[in-house]
Amino acid sequence: MKVSYSGLAIVPTKPASMNLIIEPGRIHAGDQVIELDAASSICIREAGQRQYNNQLYRIVGEGTASPSGWNGENLRGTAGMPYQRMVPGSLQVYSKDREKRYVPEVDYTQDSYWGSIRRHPQGEIGVGQELSIDYTVWLCRYDAIVLLENGTIQVVEGDSEAPESRELLLPEPPAVKTGFVLAHVFTGWGQSCIYGGGCLIAANSSTSSRSTKTLPVLAGRYEDMVERTYVVEVTAEEGDSQGQYQVRIGATGEDYGTNDIITMDTLRWTEPKRLPHDRKLPLLLQSAYRYPVSWGLELDFSQWGSDANLDLSGEYTVTAYPEMIFDRRPALNGIDPLDIIPLEQRSHLDGFREKIASGTPVRIAFFGASNANSGLWPGQVVRELRQAYPQTAISTSVLAYGGEEMRHGMHRFHREVLPVQPDLIVMEYFINDVCYGNPEETEQAARFILQSIQNAGIPCIVLTNNGANPLFSRNGSSSSFQKYHELYRGLASEYQMAFIGAYAYFSNLHLYGKYFLTELKGNMVNHPYGIIDRNWGVFDRVLSNAILKILGTSGGNDGQ
């Protein structure tokens, strides 16, 4: 049944609140017409908080200052680590018998964003000591806005729980059985009003006198869930550096990991740096983790060219609003992630296809880092291939190590990968290479590996997969991931290896109704599958479907 629509946009109120407005419109579903003849207002319930009391916790690690950062993935809740996204200021730490209450910054350090506690080396908490902790955690939730067949609007609330209680509190959008989903609305982590995204750029009095054509262009997509105002100070360099500028940036809003809210009076500035030669300036938040973080926005001064008479100096402000409303109207007829994922150099795999179809035994080597080692997609691929080719013995070798980058893998290739005599190599190093942050070294290592594979005459699939939380790494911005995605893609083309660009799907999760951080189920850093329930999360299914498709086996549209 073909579905089409007109109108029915869902927009926030002005000023923003927990109310939303559904604009009039209609849906044509086959011969049926469902009409909303007047604007409708609905109220979304706040995601709220949850209190945890008297939780058993064994101290992990040491720290001398808060925020103490991520403590490594582990079980959450009772007998595990605290849940991430604790309400700042809510943590209370006691001895196991609750007789003694410990003092923050004296006995322990903490991190409300990552949900970590570390003993202070000069404090009274011992190594590995068992404690009792109280804390409150922010919840988050997806709601679906649904147009029912009777022309009324319904809010279908999602769950703020995980399928297994020790997983992170990262939700999935709710399953909707009747009606037409117009939007997913994401709320949580202390949000008390709903924004529809967007940014406003302004300049101080000295720059605003210019024509609007000489204001910098705002590019990118804001990926944070906090309203922030970025203040960009551009000053001309002194001396002979004509046309050169120094830049520093401050930003307001929640100071992740601490109990603070940064205001215009308490801005934390980035270190002054030269405006890049291409005059494209990422908007950075100087985090409490002592490195700047990009949430996707960029000021582009390049349209001014090299006009030395046009002074760029001044103060610019950009106010950025979270995108919490994910439009699902374009997906009313379904939307397949494989339609957005590049599958290139398919003919490179012709020999492997012929071999596996002939019944000759084959071995697939999964070569790379943690997602190849412990992710779901390698097993999913092999199971589907065994079903598709029951007459063929399919063996695997998983030659992957968590945390490894391609610069390490190049030294293992000849002694570990070639000896297993694989008929196909699937290579996954994307995330760790990006966070390492040296594209030149990565390219050098990649060329060594790809040339070695080419010399050995082994078919190979080079892939990019999910992205990461930019707060975790100074190199974890979406622009960095996109740069490496293109690097991998270009090298695969040059060496005529098969390429699967699954990052193209991850970077466009908003088109599929999701906020990207909730896809990182395992640790909110870089793993899109659960720790206890490994089947929790759909990204690995999308990736395995992409691999199956490039190999000529069915797969697609899972979870969408």
Query: Which amino acid, residue 386?
Result: R
Whole-number pLDDT of residue 307: 60
| Euclidean distance between CA atoms 524 and 225, whole angstroms | 14
Question: What is the DSSP track for 408-431?
Answer: HHHHHIIIIIGGG--SEEEEE-HH
Read off the pLDDT band of 240 (50, 70, 90): low
Residue 212 pLDDT > 50, yes or no? no
Read off the pLDDT band of 461 (50, 70, 90): very high
| Euclidean distance between CA atoms 482 and 504, whole angstroms | 8
Whole-number pLDDT of residue 205: 58
Residue 207 pLDDT > 70, yes or no? no
In Å, how far are 46, 185, 323, 324, 327 from 43, measured between CA atoms?
9, 11, 17, 14, 17
Residue 161 pLDDT > 50, yes or no? yes
Residue 304 pLDDT > 90, yes or no? no
Segment 329-358 mean pLDDT: 97
Read off the pLDDT band of 77 (50, 70, 90): confident
Question: Is the bond preceding residue 67 a cis peptide, omega within 30 degrees?
Answer: yes
| Euclidean distance between CA atoms 399 and 178, whole angstroms | 45
Residue 189 pLDDT > 90, yes or no? yes
Q: What percent of the chain has pLDDT over 70?
A: 95
In Å, how far are 142, 188, 323 from 159, measured between CA atoms?
7, 12, 20
Segment 13-22 mean pLDDT: 97
Read off the pLDDT band of 242 (50, 70, 90): low
Residue 308 pLDDT > 80, yes or no? no
pTM of the model: 0.95
Let me know the angle formed at the C-alpha of 67 by 64 and 68, rounded to the nearest 5 degrees. 55
Residue 401: partners with Cβ closer than 8 Å, 6 or more residues away: 369, 370, 373, 408
| Euclidean distance between CA atoms 547 and 380, whole angstroms | 10
Whole-number pLDDT of residue 260: 95
| Euclidean distance between CA atoms 244 and 275, whole angstroms | 7
Residue 557 pLDDT > 80, yes or no? no
Q: Cβ(221)–Cβ(318) under 8 Å? A: no
Question: What is the DSSP track for 295-327?
Answer: EEEEEE-GGGTT-TTS---EEEEEEE--B-EEE
Residue 112 pLDDT > 90, yes or no? yes
Count of other CB atoms within 10 angstroms of residue 524 = 24
Segment 280-304 mean pLDDT: 94
Q: Cβ(193)–Cβ(11) under 8 Å? A: no
Whole-number pLDDT of residue 559: 43
Q: Cβ(549)–Cβ(542) under 8 Å? A: no
Residue 70 pLDDT > 60, yes or no? yes
Segment 379-395 mean pLDDT: 97
Comparing 211-225, 349-363, 370-384, 513-527, the range with the smallest average pLDDT is 211-225
Query: Which DSSP state fits 200?
Result: E
Domains of the chain (ranges; CATH) run 3-47+139-188 (no CATH), 49-138 (no CATH), 199-323 (no CATH), 335-551 (3.40.50.1110)
Residue 558 pLDDT > 60, yes or no? no
85 burial (CB, 10 Å; 0-12 / 13-18 / 19+) is buried
| Euclidean distance between CA atoms 462 and 487, whole angstroms | 11
Is 69 in a helix, a strand, or coil?
Answer: coil
Residue 560 pLDDT > 80, yes or no? no
| Euclidean distance between CA atoms 203 and 314, whole angstroms | 7
- Distance from first CA to last CA of the chain, Å, rounded? 17
| Euclidean distance between CA atoms 10 and 104, whole angstroms | 44
Residue 215 pLDDT > 90, yes or no? no
Whole-number pLDDT of residue 321: 98
Segment 532-541 mean pLDDT: 92
Whole-number pLDDT of residue 69: 93
Half-sphere exposure of 125 (CA within 13 A, CB side): 32
Whole-number pLDDT of residue 208: 46
Whole-number pLDDT of residue 422: 98
Residue 484 pLDDT > 80, yes or no? yes
Read off the pLDDT band of 306 (50, 70, 90): low
In Å, how far are 415, 490, 497 from 455, measured between CA atoms?
15, 19, 12
Residue 102 pLDDT > 70, yes or no? yes
Q: Cβ(226)–Cβ(187) under 8 Å? A: no
Q: Which helix (H) or strand (E) holds 494?
A: helix 478-494
- Give the mean pLDDT of the chain: 94
Maximum mean pLDDT: which of 122-131, 238-247, 297-306: 122-131
Whole-number pLDDT of residue 417: 97
Tokens 């992710």 locate to: 375
Segment 71-85 mean pLDDT: 85
Residue 136 pLDDT > 80, yes or no? yes
